[in-house]
Amino acid sequence: MGVGGAHPGGLNLTKEIFNTEKIDGNSHVLDVGCGTGQTAAFLAAHYGARVTAMDINPIMIEKAKSRMKQYQLQVEVIQGSIEEFPLKDSTFDFILSESVLSFVNKPRALKEIFRLLKNGGRFIANELTVNEQLNPSSKEEIKQFYGLDSVLMEQDWDALFEQAGFKNVKVLMQKNSMLQNDSIPEFHSSENIDPELYTIMIQHLNILMKYQGILANRIILCTK
Ligand SMILES: C[S@@+](CC[C@H](N)C(=O)[O-])C[C@H]1O[C@@H](n2cnc3c(N)ncnc32)[C@H](O)[C@@H]1O
């Protein structure tokens, strides 16, 4: 559907987070699972940062490339998986993952992110988190629908990041629910959208309503 900012809080939350980071024109940033490239484009345009955007999905890559071309931004857009991404060790000052870790093999992806980050570099994630322990059938419903291997609580994220070697791990709770988004929605729709996708979108909204107050997100900030 070409959604820009397919993460809780949208671009406004991304802007708020980077307001407190030391990012500038000398920073090299990797946007993991960049989707259609909205965040990557913002970081390049607003801070003049050198940005690399990567995603596993060829349609996302195509949309991200066309966005960079449209706005004449020198963002490098690469298709690949963050579970194994063939770039050199210690390449990036910042790595960002906005609603991506939830969908991948987390220990493998975190190991790769740690490797790609420079010493002292920052890793920032915005990830789906449950506020309370779910009963087995609710957990299964969420895992099945979103294709997740696990549904994590705040302390689980914290433990995974610590195990991967990150320091100063800080997990921030969000005041807005997953149904609230202050950013203006953006769609770069494909010409032919499978009608099933509209059904899936409605099911997604139903799940957000059903688990309001339980299904949430956390911002996880840490340093290598
Ligand atoms: C919920 S979307 C978020 C997209 C973008 N970060 C945003 O906020 O708009 C999740 C993205 O992760 C990508 N993704 C899933 N598995 C991945 C992997 N192993 N490596 C890189 N990207 C992946 C998907 O293709 C999708 O674009």
Ligand 1 interacting residues, C-beta cut-off 6 A: 5-7, 32-35, 38, 55-57, 60, 81-83, 98-100, 103-104
Local confidence band at 97 (pLDDT 50, 70, 90 cut-offs):
very high
What are the residue boundaries of the structural domains of the chain, listed by start?
A: 3-223
Instruction: Tell me the CATH class for 3-223.
Output: alpha beta
| Ligand 1 mean position, distance from CA 56 (Å) | 7
Would you call 26 helix, strand, or coil by DSSP?
A: coil
Ligand 1, atom 4, lies closest to the CA of: 35
> Other CB atoms closer than 10 Å to residue 62's CB: what's the count?
15
Average pLDDT over residues 83-100: 97
The Cα 58–Cα 140 span in angstroms is 29
Average pLDDT over residues 175-202: 75
Contacts of 104 (CB under 8 A, 6+ apart): 33, 81, 82, 83
DSSP state of 28: E
By most ligand atoms within 8 Å of CB, the mutation choice from 81, 103, 146 for ligand 1 is 103
| Ligand 1 mean position, distance from CA 8 (Å) | 13
Local confidence band at 2 (pLDDT 50, 70, 90 cut-offs):
low
| Ligand 1 mean position, distance from CA 57 (Å) | 8
| pLDDT tens per residue across span 123-173 | 999 999 999 999 999 999 999 999 999 999 999 999 999 999 999 999 998
- Kind of pairing, strands 28-32 and 92-98? parallel
| pLDDT tens per residue across span 34-49 | 999 999 999 999 999 9
Residue 193: what pLDDT?
77
| Ligand 1 mean position, distance from CA 27 (Å) | 22
Closest-lying ligand 1 atom to the alpha carbon of residue 33: 22
Q: What is the pTM of this model?
A: 0.92
Ligand 1, atom 13, lies closest to the CA of: 33
Average pLDDT over residues 172-199: 75
